[in-house]
Structure 1
Amino acid sequence: MHTYVVLAYKESEYLEECIKSVLNQKYPSKVVVATSTPNEFIQNIVRKYSLEIIVNPNPGRGIGYDFDFAVSCGKTKLATVAHQDDIYDYEYSDLIVKAYKKNQDSLIVFSDYYEIREEGKVYSNTNLKIKRILLFPLRSRFLASTKFGKRLSLRFGNAISCPAVTFDKDNINTNDIFKCDFVCDVDWYAWEKLSKKSGKFTFIKKPLMGHRVHEDSTTTEIINGRIRTKEDLIMFQKFWPNFIAKFINKFYVKAEDSNN
């Protein structure tokens, strides 16, 4: 019922660790590797674990297009795009599938997460606490099924961690989830779009995967270039009048410092 699509890019030192984590699961998920940058490094790791590699036939169009391609590579009803720098706990797919079976009208099923930093696994900091507060409405099965509840969890920022999300491919258009010209907020853009559709955002409050924060990550690079600030404002304007969006965005910039 569930597939991990490991999205590989160039030569990440963490790719093999990610693959090991998705192969070592309580629930026997399928695993494939998708890439827009095929190279010998990726080929060698894929060959080592006898995995299928799927090469994007239309590379270079942008991050959002790469994500949509990765979702489409899922071999099953449920698909998780595993980011190459991240890791998944032993119970991730097992609990995701169980939660889905209880909520089969779900658009997405996702878990809480922890951060992986130089000092190790971090389960609580200011950034994570704020995101958990924002996600509180989705603990209600009723609110998680309503447009109001889904958008309430998104209107003050993007609290849903993209690599923690599993998609129900039957309930959404997998060719048009992330597709946009953004370079950072492609996931927030996707959740905002999906929040308008009929269906549930099913949230598991237990941290089931680790998102790596390091100086070479794409997120860090984008924040340092302040590209994210511009995209954040566009997203806030989808939920608020312009003057309120600008006010919120000034405070939101400070949260980015947590990623440094």
Structure 2
Amino acid sequence: MNKTDLPKVTIVTPSYNQAEFLEETIKSVLNQTYPNIEYIVVDGGSTDGSVDIIKKYEDQLAWWVSEPDNGQSDAINKGFAKATGDVYNWLNSDDILYPDAVKIAVHFMQKHPESEVVYGDRIVIDGKGRIIDVFEPVSVSKRMAKFALRIPQEATFFSARIWKKVNGLNESLHFVMDSDLWYRFLEETRFFHIPVFLGAYRNHEESKSVYGLGKEKSDKAMAEIIYLRKNYSSFLSQVKLLRKWLRYFQLLQHAYERNKRTRRLLKEEVRNIIFENKP
């Protein structure tokens, strides 16, 4: 199949002073097995050598810029404003995509057009790239999302149409902007879970999950969490005992889904996608 016959996938990387990880992130996009990718890098005016890394690959980028911005959400919105793709994904400058991630995501988006959001599973790595955890989310439904909605951001792909319909990220949010976006997407479409690892999230000292959303949450992060609860959660989800029960329910749901025949068939389908046209 000709490259132009395939949906164009736009990937945006917001970047700011993460030269230590940036090149691995960029290469994980440029080395995708899917041929029709538009890659955009939006740097916030880094001073740590990130710009030199970006320039090294600028002939393979659709567009890039390095200038001060108003944070990650602003940078991502800026990048997608330049996008011409049919499918979107953003990849933070310390995370990585696995080589067949885009190919797999596009396959399922085409097969299930009623689901304009598809997401896979996540490997968690540390600053040296060592695996320290995994995250295999359960299927998303509107009913359960009122209690919890957690999917791996780097492993989530969505249509350009739905991004434009909800007007992208809320730029006033800096810690929970992805969760806020998922809730707004859920009002417009179904989500489809692909039960394979599509990418890796890097958990290190400078990542938001550590300094903002870790055990000692910052005041700003807590204010944004309260915003999410106020706007999207069920009143019952704010009852401590019920939240504890929900965690046990999700463990049971996860165990159930892992043993479903449908899940095994999906994994087999992914293997066929990966190895098609390979000698």
Q: 1:188 to 1:21 in 2, by over 3 A?
A: same
Equivalent residue runs for 1:197-208 within 5 Å: 197=188, 199-208=189-198
Matches within 5 A, 1:1-260: 1-28=8-35, 29-37=37-45, 41-49=49-57, 50-52=59-61, 53-55=63-65, 59-60=69-70, 62-117=71-126, 120-124=130-134, 128=135, 132=137, 135-136=138-139, 138=140, 149=141, 151-173=142-164, 176-197=167-188, 199-223=189-213, 224-227=216-219, 228-237=221-230, 238-241=232-235, 244-245=237-238, 247=240
* Higher relative contact order (Cα pairs below 8 Å, separated by 6+ residues): 1
What amino acid is aligned across from residue 210 of structure 1 in structure 2? A
After TM superposition, the score normalised by the length of structure 1 is: 0.76
Identity %: 20
- Residue by residue over 1:183-204, the C-alpha shift from the partner in whole angstroms, topping out at 9 and shown as x without a partner, is 211111111111112x221221
Q: Which runs of 5+ in 2 are unaligned?
A: 1-7, 248-279
Q: Deviations over 1:162-199 (max 9, x none)?
A: 222222112331672221422211111111111112x2
Cα distance between partner residues in 1 of 2:168 and 2:52: 31
Q: Give the Å deviation of 1:31.
A: 2.0
CA gap 1:81/1:213 in 2 versus in 1, 3 angstroms: same
2:3 equivalent in structure 1: none
Work out the CA distance in 2 between the residues paired with 1:119 and 1:89. 13
Larger radius of gyration: 2
Q: Rate the CA distance shift 1:44–1:195 in 2: closer, same or farther, 3 A.
A: same
Shift of 1:111: 1.3
Q: Distance in 2 between matches of 1:247 and 1:233?
A: 14
Superposition deviation, residue 215 in structure 1: 1.1
The offset of 1:88, in angstroms, is 0.9
Amino acid at match of 2:233: F
Counterpart Cα distance in 1 of 2:18 and 2:178: 23
User: What TM-score does the superposition give when structure 2 sets the normalisation length?
Assistant: 0.72
Alpha-carbon distance in structure 2 between the residues aligned to 1:190 and 1:121: 28
In structure 1, C-alpha distance between the alignment counterparts of 2:68 and 2:131, rounded to whole Å: 36
Q: Distance in 2 between matches of 1:6 and 1:180?
A: 16
Instruction: Provide runs of 4+ in structure 1 moved above 4 Å.
Output: 248-251
- Number of matched residues? 231
Deviation at 1:155? 2.6
Per-residue CA deviation, residues 200-249 of structure 1 (Å, 9 max, x unaligned), is: 212211111000001111221112443333322332232212x7425379
1:175–1:72: structure 2 CA closer, same or farther, 3 Å change rule?
farther
